[in-house]
A and B are shown apart, each in its own frame.
Chain A
Amino acid sequence: MTIPPAAAIGPSTSTSTAASDAVLVTSMIRALAVFRWVTLGGAVIGVILGRSALVEPVAAVVLLGAATGLTGYLYLLGRRRPTELVRWSWLALEVGLGLTLLVADGLVFSDERAQSLPWAWPAAGIAAVGIAAAGRGSSPLLDHAGLLVAVVVGTVSVLSEIVLLGRFSGPDQIGVLFSKIGLWLLVGLLVGPLMRRLLRAERLISVAKAREELARELHDGVLQTLAVVQRRSDDPDLAALARDQENSLRTYLSDDRLIGAAAAPSGRLGEAAVDEAGAGLASMEVTGGLDAVLRRVATDAERRHRLKTQVVVAADCPPLSPAATVAVAGAVTEAVTNAAKHGAAERVTIFAEPNEGDDGATVFVSVHDNGSGFVVDGIIEGIGLSRSIRGRISEQGGRVEIASRPGKGTEVKLWVKADSRWDR
């Protein structure tokens, strides 16, 4: 079996995230029903209390009736066929009725009344548009749909005050108008980004869950089988193949590149990091966390040289910056290559954990082989070990120690600063 690259499993992943996106979007819009009922109740109370100032009582009742009808219908729709809530027709109707209520407010009351028809009610429409737009993807228009509707509502409100009623005067009325517009703009501004973050968080969770399930399945099945093949096959090539596949599979499972892809489709760690480090590792794929990267280095080394590697990364190992990850990957590759080529090593252990001395502000990495070893001061500069490893690590402000003795193998130890953006 060959492990498909992340891109190959992309389509099925996106189908399932689309489904869970839709569920989240509709449930958020359904939740707006509560808001509508509350603001509608406020409007009814407002009309009852201000009934002495009503000049068009019939129109007021009709409008309130229409708002009640739509609130009730959307509530029922949310309970029975929630997916229909995101249809543009319903969203347009809700925003339209909101605008009508705003304009009519000045007509059904006499002058001295500032506002009592449901001025907060249109905020539900603004929020619904913002949520639905976030669920439909990303474009300049969709990203700002909520805010756009808020601007339209605000503009209509101001125009109706000035043009229709000509009463845009007095500090009280201006104050009330601006606080209303402020509320609408705030809702329009916040709802889109909030919804987008929610969707992203949910996507991350579902991808992580899927991977966990996959990992469990594979542990019990495929890894088990690959282990049987390695142990029971008399054919060394077949055993080597099984080991190689086992390594690939483990690398894949330890890789958080799937999660990274879901979080930020354009946020690949690779190219940018390689440029930044200038380490000339462009041909090597550097995505995912340190664990995944080190496993990939080890798998590659096993393929190229006949040697067994073991990768041990502590679960609480703090992340490195992309540039530092590239540097460590390069240094470790170099150390493993040297172990195989010059040290004739059979086994290499790659280990990483938070550095004990400074409570994890630094990551400690060790590459230890059982090869022939050498006299540290004599040979080391000659084989370029120093230049290629020390160079990479010191560029990142890190430190390198090399310990080796003839017949006792070699250990390369690195200390590299953890990513400071990561909160310990």
Chain B
Amino acid sequence: MGEGRQSLGPVRIVVADDHAIWRTGLKEDLGDNFLVVGEASDATEAIDVVKRTKPNLVLTDLHMPGGGGVAVAKAVAGDVPVVMLTVSEAERDLLEAVAAGAVGYLLKSIDADELRRQLWRAAQGEPVFSASLAALVLTEFRRLRKQAPDGEGISDREREVLQLVARGHTYGEIGEELHISAKTVENHVRNILKKLRLNRKNELIRYAIDHGIE
């Protein structure tokens, strides 16, 4: 994942969604600070467009033909921040997408101001962590701890940060509450994401070994 952009000027963004009306609507909402350099209507096309146009940010629908946002995140999240768009927060796919490297997700009903703000932050390399995603990740780590009590979990501090996000606090508020800087809060969140990915990878390896898949 890129650690933020070097150049100033508009964020070069690729928008992937299988509904054209969404892409048009999003383009209108993005405003002058974003430049849509490519569009795609399925995962394969999206990966292709991203590789070709080398954007600063990818905004992709979670559910699309060709493997959806998860496939996109798997393929390109190493080079560019990927943000998921979804209508529902109650889906396991979402966790899958984040574990695959997405920096976060936004609900499709988000208002235009908030959309621009969050995407701008994502383009600077910040994780876009909503309250629901934090709760989803907390639940996942609880599950992991029950399954493997001595596996690598999150620290008490990381849990605290995550719960404060789930309770609707901003990074600034969390920093104030815990007497740390907002930047440190952000680092905690990034570490949590890293651990989530690592755990997912380990789980896949364990599964493969248990089922005799080489």
Contact = CB atoms under 8 A, between A and B. Distances in A.
A314 B139 contact: yes
B14 interface: no
B146 to A, nearest CB: 9
B111 A231 contact: yes
A240 to B, nearest CB: 12
B141 to A, nearest CB: 11
A347 B110 CA distance: 13
B188 interface: no
B167 A246 contact: no
Given A312-B132, A316-B139, A232 B25 contact: yes
A411 B29 CA distance: 32
Contacts of A349: 131, 167-168
Interface in B13-44: 19, 21-22, 25, 29
Given A223-B88, A243-B109, A353-B138, A228 B131 contact: no
B197 interface: no
Interface string A223-247: 1101110111000000000010010
B173 A228 contact: no
A358 to B, nearest CB: 13
Contacts of B190: none
Contacts of B142: 314, 316, 354
Contact of A227 (B108, B136, B166): B108
Nearest to A403: B177
Contacts of A313: 135
B169 interface: yes
Contact of B88 (A219, A351, A411): A219
B25 A310 contact: no
Contacts of A231: 25, 29, 108-112
A246 B109 contact: yes
Interface residues of B, number: 31
A347 B111 CA distance: 13
B164 to A, nearest CB: 9
Contact of B19 (A224, A243, A370, A408): A224
A404 interface: no
Interface of A: 219-220, 223-224, 226-228, 230-232, 243, 246, 254, 310, 312-316, 347-349, 351, 353-354, 356, 366, 368, 370, 408, 411
Lowest 10 CB-CB distances: which A-B pairs, in order? A349-B168, A227-B108, A227-B109, A368-B168, A223-B87, A312-B135, A366-B167, A314-B139, A312-B131, A351-B167
Given A224-B108, A351-B168, A370-B168, 12 more contacts: A219-B87, A224-B87, A226-B109, A227-B87, A228-B22, A228-B25, A228-B108, A313-B135, A349-B131, A349-B167, A353-B139, A366-B167
Interface of B: 19, 21-22, 25, 29, 63, 87-88, 90, 107-112, 131-132, 134-136, 138-139, 142-143, 159, 163, 166-169, 173
